[in-house]
Amino acid sequence: MGSYYINRTFFFDVHPPLGKMLIGLAGYLSGYDGTFLFQKPGDNYEHHSYMGMRGFCAFLGSMLIPLAYLTVLELSRSLSAALLTAALLTFDTGCLTLSQYILLDPILMFFIMAAMLSMVKYNSCANRPFSAPWWFWLSLTGVNLAGALGVKFVGLFIILQVGWNTLSDLWHLFGDLSLSMVTLGKHLTARILCLIVLPLALYIATYAVHFMVLNKSGPGDGFFSSAFQARLSGNNLHNASIPEHLAYGSVITVKNLRMAIGYLHSHRHFYPEGVGARQQQVTTYLHKDYNNLWIIKKHNSNSDPLDPSLPVEFVRHGDIIRLEHKETSRNLHSHYHEAPLTRKHYQVTGYGINGSGDSNDFWRIEVINRKFGNRIKVLRSRIRLIHLITGCVLGSSGKVLPKWGWEQMEVTCTPYLKETLSSIWNVEDHINPKLPNISLEVLQPSFPEIMLESHMVMIRGNNGLKPKDNEFTSKPWHWPINFQGLRFSGANDTDFRVYLLGNPVVWWLNLLSIALYVLSASVFAVAVQRGAHLPVEVEGLSQVLLRGGGQLLFGWMMHYFPFFLMGRVLYFHHYFPAMLFSSMLTGLLWDTLLRLCAWSLASYPLARCVHVLGILSLLLGTAYRGPRLGRRFLIRGHVKVRRRTKRSWREEEGILQPLGG
């Protein structure tokens, strides 16, 4: 993806641009020329210089460990807890694998952890409000939030967490009667400034840079609206001049107004038997293609309107027209057959030979919010095509056709006349030699419009990542138990493979710790609620457990549970941000519990002993399994060894696919 930035061609991806921009920057600085294709995993880099980009990701990935260390240290004030956390992350093979390659995840995790750390830091500065460190950590939180959201939308979860923390903080301050309303106002403004305005500004700035850098037409054009494309150089709409009003005989492309649906398209393939009438398919297609061209004709005459002897006749609102597919000379046609996927709609086909069909080819063209008789403007008029005989409206259902339809999208004629975007179209390209061209400069959309549109397209793209039939998908409940890994790379003829899988000792310990945490935290909470008087030392530990641990547990839940609600394709690596939180929780919990044990044993040396021994054994446990597994997975990577541990870790064979998600 970084290549696109270096080549400055426009592309489309479901994630916000910051992460790819950073990778692109790293690549640019390290002398990568953007020529490698990155087509599929397993390709050799050959002579391309990729170490800069990998190094950058690996650096951010290794920064996770000190960040986690500092966070836990701040929350628990205990060196051993922080050390334990750091050890867990250091020896986790999953984190190791994930941060070694050119991926967005290390960048995302870096920003999430940095945001968490700065939030914790500024919380502990709360007794010195408006001091320099306070301001520093507060604004750093804002910066990191912008970074996290700018890399992937998963960053939204950490924003919610910080937001919740800020709200409860403000609520706490608000209840403090010693503060005047003016001071409270200052507090509120400071937070709005640093946590809302600053991140938003940065986030928008990344987009500004994104659009500024990518000013050439590229593979992502078709996803965007006509107006959007006009600003990309190299696109046929850039600085284009086309006739303004639609006339009979014009060659046009028709684009659906709903985002990421594409152009009305047809090709020389029939609907398969059993799917409506066996006539030529009509679909929508996202890419520019000759098969998107249609000729607009009068319904009743077949004379060539381009004949120079005839006067130019404009198409007007309410006219009855016929749309002839330019390549195949078939007419856009509909009839009382059910559509291939949406059973309640009618099928749309291409029908007739050399432009002569029947009365089912007649459509009434209507412009939204216009009076009858007006001309139709290219690009700006929002039109509907109403089938004359059945009275239905041409629309796209947005569903992807099966293989016989080349996985393009279904076009139907819907009998429901409600105005929805999917049944509204606009004319994009327009070729008519008899008409004067006008320039399209007026179309340039403003920056907020571009922002909004690219977000809509990204959200639609994200929702569109549905698992295909029979494709193996990972379920969220698989993740914490380390049920099944994810194959990253590996050519079949060598022994070197990369398989993303967590260190089972670390992961199962994490899982156990969460259960244990919930148990111990509720015991403490009930004890406090019952009004039991705790000794000072236990009181302090319970505070660490409830406050610090609570924040970490909340972070884990925020980064894990929303995935259960998502309909899109999910992958194992989505769990890693949550895993960071649960590792920190583990460190904090075990340290606190061991301290409690040590406290209940009266004599000091013995207590000390128990504590140190416990921490050491945990450290050794993770370290013992960690490198061993790591070596197998990363360096030797033999298939059979893995089977021994768990059946579901079996190597998946077949074609590797880039995830893109």
Partner 1 sequence: MLGFLQQPVMVTTEVNLNMVALTAVGLLSRLWQLAYPRAVVFDEVYYGQHISFYMKRTFFLDGSGPPFGHMLLALGGYLGGFDGNFLWNRIGAEYSSNVPVWSLRLLPALSGALSVPMAYEIVWELGFSHCAATGAALLLLIENALITQSRLMLLESVLIFFNLLAVLSYLKFCNSQKHRPFSPRWWFWLVLTGVACSCAVGIKYVGVFTYLLVLGVAAVHAWHVIGDQTLSNVGGLGPPSPGWGDVPSILWQVRVLCHLLARAAALVVLPVLVYLLFFYIHLLLLCRSGPHDQIMSSAFQASLEGGLARVTQGQPLEVAFGSQVTLKNVFGQPVPCWLHSHQSTYPMIYENGRGSSHQQQVTCYPFKDVNNWWIVKDPGRHQLVVNNPPRPVRHGDVVQLVHGMTTRLLNTHDVAAPLSPHAQEVSCYIDYNISMPPQNLWRLDIVNRESDTDVWKTILSEVRFVHVNTSAILKLSGVPLPDWGFRQLEVVGEKLFRGYHGSTVWNVEEHRYGRSQEQKERELELHSPTQVDISRFMARFSELQWRMLTVRSDDSEHKYSSTPLDWVMLDTNIAYWLHPRTSAQIHLLGNVVIWASASLATLVYALLFIWYLLRRRRRVCDLPEDRWLRWVLAGALCAGGWAVNYLPFFLMETPLFLSHYLPSLPFQILLLPVVLEHISDHLCRSQLQRSLFTALVVAWFTSACHVSNMLRPLTYGDRSLSPSELKALRWKDSWDILIRKY
Q: Which residues bind partner 1 (CB under 8 A)?
A: 171, 174-175, 177, 342-344, 414, 416, 469-470, 472, 484, 526-527, 529-535, 565, 648, 650, 652-654
Q: Closer CB to partner 1, residue 388 or residue 534?
A: 534
Smallest distance from partner 1 to CB 177, Å: 6
Q: Which two tokens stand for residue 250?
A: 């014009």
Q: Closer CB to partner 1, residue 441 or residue 652?
A: 652
659's CB contacts (< 8 A; 6+ apart) are 571, 573
Smallest distance from partner 1 to CB 321, Å: 26
| DSSP symbols for 343-385 | TTSEEEEEESBTTB--GGG-EEEEETT--TT-B-BTTT--EEE
Q: Closer CB to partner 1, residue 438 or residue 521?
A: 521
Q: Closer CB to partner 1, residue 176 or residue 307?
A: 176
Q: Which two tokens stand for residue 574?
A: 């989505």
Smallest distance from partner 1 to CB 226, Å: 28
Smallest distance from partner 1 to CB 170, Å: 10
Helix (H) or strand (E) holding 68, with range, is: helix 51-76
Q: Closer CB to partner 1, residue 123 or residue 414?
A: 414
Q: Closer CB to partner 1, residue 313 or residue 652?
A: 652
Using H for helix, E for strand and C for coil, what is the string for 82-100? Answer: HHHHHHHHHCCHHHHHHCC
Q: Closer CB to partner 1, residue 47 or residue 530?
A: 530
Q: Closer CB to partner 1, residue 369 or residue 529?
A: 529
Phi and psi (nearest 5°) for 272?
-70, 165
Smallest distance from partner 1 to CB 195, Å: 20
91, 547, 578 from 574: Cα distances, Å: 19, 26, 8
40, 48, 153, 161, 511 from 564: Cα distances, Å: 29, 40, 16, 18, 17
Closest C-alpha to 87, from 99, 95, 76, 75: 95
**Residue that is written with structure tokens 């409000």 in the block:** 129
Closest C-alpha to 111, from 65, 145, 71: 145
Q: Which two tokens stand for residue 298?
A: 């009068």
CA atoms of 265 and 567, how far apart (whole Å): 28
**Residue that is written with structure tokens 């679909």 in the block:** 283
Smallest distance from partner 1 to CB 282, Å: 20
CA atoms of 348 and 281, how far apart (whole Å): 8
CA atoms of 618 and 215, how far apart (whole Å): 54
Q: Which two tokens stand for residue 117?
A: 């750390």
CA atoms of 331 and 169, how far apart (whole Å): 66
Q: Closer CB to partner 1, residue 303 or residue 648?
A: 648
SS3 338: strand
| Interhelix angle 576-600/536-543, nearest 10 degrees | 170
Smallest distance from partner 1 to CB 175, Å: 5
Closest C-alpha to 537, from 601, 442, 614, 621: 601
Q: Closer CB to partner 1, residue 342 or residue 426?
A: 342
Smallest distance from partner 1 to CB 558, Å: 18
| Helical segments of 126-279, H only | 132-151, 155-174, 181-191, 198-213, 226-229
Smallest distance from partner 1 to CB 576, Å: 22
Answer yes or no: are the C-beta atoms of 141 and 190 closer than 8 Å: no
CA atoms of 84 and 592, how far apart (whole Å): 12
Q: Closer CB to partner 1, residue 515 or residue 565?
A: 565
Q: Closer CB to partner 1, residue 70 or residue 386?
A: 386
Q: Closer CB to partner 1, residue 343 or residue 644?
A: 343
SS3 485: coil
